[in-house]
Chains A and B, each alone.
Chain A
Amino acid sequence: MTHWVPELLAPAGSLEKLKVAVLYGANAVYLGGQKFGLRSAAENFTIEELEEGVQFAHERNAQVYVVLNSFFHDKDFDSLLEFITELERLKVDALIVSDPGVISFISANSNLEIHLSTQASCLNVESAKMWKKLGVTRIVLGREVTVKEAAKIKKESGLEVEMFVHGSMCMAYSGNCVISNYTQGRDSNRGGCAHSCRFEYKIEGINPETGNEFSKNNFFMSSKDLEGIRVLPEFIEGEIDSLKVEGRMKSHLYAGTISKVYSEALSYYKEKGDFLSDELKFWEEELNKVTHRAYTEASLVEPAGSDSIYGDREHEINEYAAIGEILEVNEGKYLLVEVRSAFEIGDELEILPFKGRAMKFTMDFIKNVMDEDLPRTKPGSLVKVPFVEGAQKWNLLRRRLQQ
C-alpha cells in the first residue's frame, strides 16, 4: 500500500536546471520564457529550450508549468497570443498567471490550464472563490497563509492549492511591493526587483515605551528563508496538492539538493505512511548544505513572528561549495567534470547521486582533457577525476568548506 503525497514543484531557471530538478526527483518544474516573468535577469527559456525541456520532463512523468506572472501593461499583450499558441503546441501542463487581464486573455484564446500565481496574494476562501470564477484551476497561495488555512481554502473553494515549502521569501505581500519602481526605476512586478528589502536601514523615531529618541541600524525588512521539511505531515494531512520550491535564480546544486531531499522525504512517507525516522535529521542536514539564510517555518504553522526576520548582517550560510557536474562517466577510468568552483589534488569531494547518500571520494588525480596532470582546477574548465562506482552523468559534485 502506498500513501498519497503532494506534488513536488521545483524551480527551473534554465534547461540544465530543469534536467537537474527532474533527475533529482521533482514531479514538476516551473520556468519562465523570454518575456512575461518576474526574473528578467535569469537565463529563461527560448522556445527551442522549452520544447526540449517539456520533452525531457514528460519522458520522466514530470509536469512543466510556465510562469507569465508579471503585471502586464497594455503593450505586453502584443506578443502574448503568439507565445501562448507556442506553449499550447509544446503541450506545457499549465501557466502560472497573476494578472486578471492575462487570465481572461489566455482563457479566451487557448485551452491551457491556468494556475493563479502567488503574486495575486490569494489569502482566503472568498478570494479563491472569486478567482475560480475566472477559470483558474489551482491557486498558489500567499506565503502568509498557514497550512490549516490552506486546507480550508482547498476544501471550501474546490480548487487545487499550492504552497511554498522552501526558499527565499518576500517580506511584503507578493505583488504589493513597489520599492524598486520608485527608488530604482525598475518595476518589481515586471521582473526588476532590486531586493531593497535586503538592505540595511537606519531606523529613527521615538521609542513608544520610553518616549525617547531612537536610532538603530537594522535589516528589518529581510526575511529568513523558508524551510518546511518538518511541516510535511501537516501538508499531507491538509491534502495540499503541490509543494513549491522557490529559486529559479539559484544554483544547480540548490535545484538538485532541494529536489532530492524533499522528494526522498515524500517517497519515504509514500511508502511508510509516517515520518517517524532518523532520516528527518539527515534531510535537515542536507538542506543546510545549500547556500541559504537562516531558516524559518514562517507562517506555515502560525503567522510569522519577529523570529522570522533575518536581522543579522546580510550574508548567506555556506557550508558547502557547488563544485560542478559530471558530464561523462568513463567506466573504470575517470569522470569528466565541468568545474564551477575550484578544487585541488587531495581534496575530498562528494557526489550527490539521484537517490541515496552522497558518495565521498578523494582527488587522487586531476587531469585536463589532454591527460596532463593538474595540481588544481579552475572554474569554466573540464577535468578528469577518479572514477567512482555508481556515479552517473549529470550527478552534482560538492565540497565541504573549511569552517
Chain B
Amino acid sequence: MKLTTYLESLEQIDLLVEAKVDEAIICPLTLSRFGKVLNNQITKMAQALKEKGIKPILEWDILMTENIFSQTIKSFEYIDLNEFESIRLQDPGAIHYILENYPHLNIQLILESGGHHNIESLKTWKRLVGDRLERVVLSLELSRDHLANYINELGVEVEFLGLGRILLFYTPRNLISPIFGHDESDSKVISDVRNSEGIEVSASSEESPHKGFPVIENMHGTFMFNTKDHCVLEYLDDLQKIGLSSLRIDLRFGHDLKMLGTIRKLMNSFDEEVVNRLKENYPVTLIRGFFHKNKSDVLFKKLKNYRIQRSDDSFLGDVIEVNKKNHLGIILRSRKNSLKLGMRIRLLTPDGKDKELFISSIKTSDHQEISEATHGQVVFVPHVSGVSVKTVAYLMEG
C-alpha cells in the first residue's frame, strides 16, 4: 500500500522523504481547490520529488463553469506537464480535456463526491477513461465492505483517505468576505482572498448540535468542512488485507507533517497503542464516518406517510371533506373504478385505521341522488366515524 500525501512547499520535502512517502500531490493555486503552489514553482517541486524517489502527481480538482474552464486551461502554458506521469481530476470536463489533449498523462479519478457509490458507476468511468485510468479515489461514504468489493471487482488502483478533513460543501460563490462588509466592488479584500491562501473562519449554528465547522473562502469559492476529521488508521491492517492501493494522508490546514513518519511505521508494523496515541494527540476529534456501515437512508421511511398513497387496482379516490354524522366528501380519482350504490368500500385513514362503508346513498353537491360516480366527480356518502381528510378509499374485494 502506497503512502500518498500533499506537498505544499519545497521546505516540506525532507519530512516526506523521512516518512518514505511514495507519492506527493502538488496542488497548483489555479487548478486545485486548496492549492497554494504558484505555476513557476510546480516544475521545481516535481523535479525535487523525483530526485528523492517520490512520484509527483498534479491535482486539477476544481469544478469549472465554461468561462473559468477556458481561463484555467491557460495554466498549462506555464506548467511543464512532462514532469508528471499522472494527474488527478474531478470535473468530467477536465477528464475529457486531458484525455483528448495530453495522451502521456495517466488519470487518477477523484470520485469522492457525486454518484459514485455503486459498482456500475465505477465501471462506467473505467470504460470511459479506458487504459489511461490509473486509479480511482473513492468516497468516504463507502463502507469497508463496499470498499473491499470494489477493490476486488475493479482491477485498478483504489485510493482512500486515511486521515484528513471531510469536505461537506463546495460553492463557487464568495460567502465569507461579504460578512466582513465587502462585496465585489470592494476589490482589495476580495483580491487578497482570491490571490492568497484565502480566509478561514468557524461556523456554528443553534440549529445543529455540531459546533465550529471550518469554512474556507479562496479564489475558487467557499468550502465547509466537518467539525471532525476522518480517520481509519486503526484499520490499516485490514485495508492492506483487502488490497487498498493507496492511503492518502491530508495534513494540510496546519497539521504536523511529522505524523507521516508515524503512519509509515504503522503501515510497516501495525500497533494499536501507537494509533491511539496519534489519535489522542490529533488536534481535532476524529471519526471513522461511514466506514462500518452507511445507514444514511434509514430515516427516509419516516419522512412520509405511506398509508395515504394509492397502491393497487381497487383504488377509488380520496376523502376531501368530513362532516361529522352527515357525510364524507369523496373525490373519485380512479379512471378505472367507479363508485356505485350498494357496494362496500374500504377506507384507510392516515393514522392507520381500516374502516368499511356500505354505500347506501351517493349525493352530488346540489343534493341530487345518483347511483354511480366516476372519475373527477365530487360526491357525498354516509359518514363513518374515525375517518379524516386524506383517507384513501378502495373497492372491497368480492
Seen from chain A, the residues whose Cβ lies within 8 Å of a Cβ on chain B are 15, 34, 40-44, 46, 48-49, 52, 55, 71-74, 76-77, 98-105, 119-131, 133-134, 142, 144-146, 149, 152-153, 171-173, 175-179, 181-183, 185-187, 189-192, 196-197, 199-209, 214, 216, 218, 220-221, 299, 303-309, 311, 327-328, 330, 333, 336, 338, 368-371, 380-382, 384
Contact = CB atoms under 8 A, between A and B. Distances in A.
A262 B64 CA distance: 30
B42 to A, nearest CB: 22
B311 interface: yes
A190 B122 CA distance: 18
Given A124-B69, A171-B171, A199-B208, A369 B297 contact: no
A34 B300 CA distance: 11
B209 to A, nearest CB: 8
A49 B121 CA distance: 30
Which of A123, A133, A204, A330: most chain B CB closer than 10 A? A123
Interface of B: 63-69, 91-97, 100, 113-125, 128, 141, 146, 166-180, 182-184, 188-189, 192-193, 199-210, 213, 215, 224, 226, 289, 294-297, 299-300, 303-304, 309-313, 315, 320-323, 326-327, 329, 331, 333-335, 365-367, 378, 380, 389
For the complex, would chain B's binding face be called helix, strand, loop or mixed by DSSP majority? Answer: mixed
Contacts of A72: 115, 117-118, 120-121
For the complex, would chain A's binding face be called helix, strand, loop or mixed by DSSP majority? Answer: mixed
Nearest to A207: B180
B119 A101 contact: yes
Nearest to B125: A100
17 contacts: A43-B304, A55-B335, A104-B124, A124-B65, A126-B94, A177-B169, A179-B224, A183-B210, A187-B294, A200-B206, A204-B201, A205-B199, A209-B188, A221-B175, A309-B173, A370-B326, A381-B323
Given A71-B117, A209-B180, A382-B365, A130 B323 contact: no
A45 B303 CA distance: 15
Contacts of B322: 380
B120 A77 contact: yes
A76 B118 contact: yes
A120 B93 CA distance: 12
A52 B141 CA distance: 38
Contacts of A205: 199-202
A204 to B, nearest CB: 5
B310 A182 contact: no
Contact of B172 (A130, A208, A303): A303
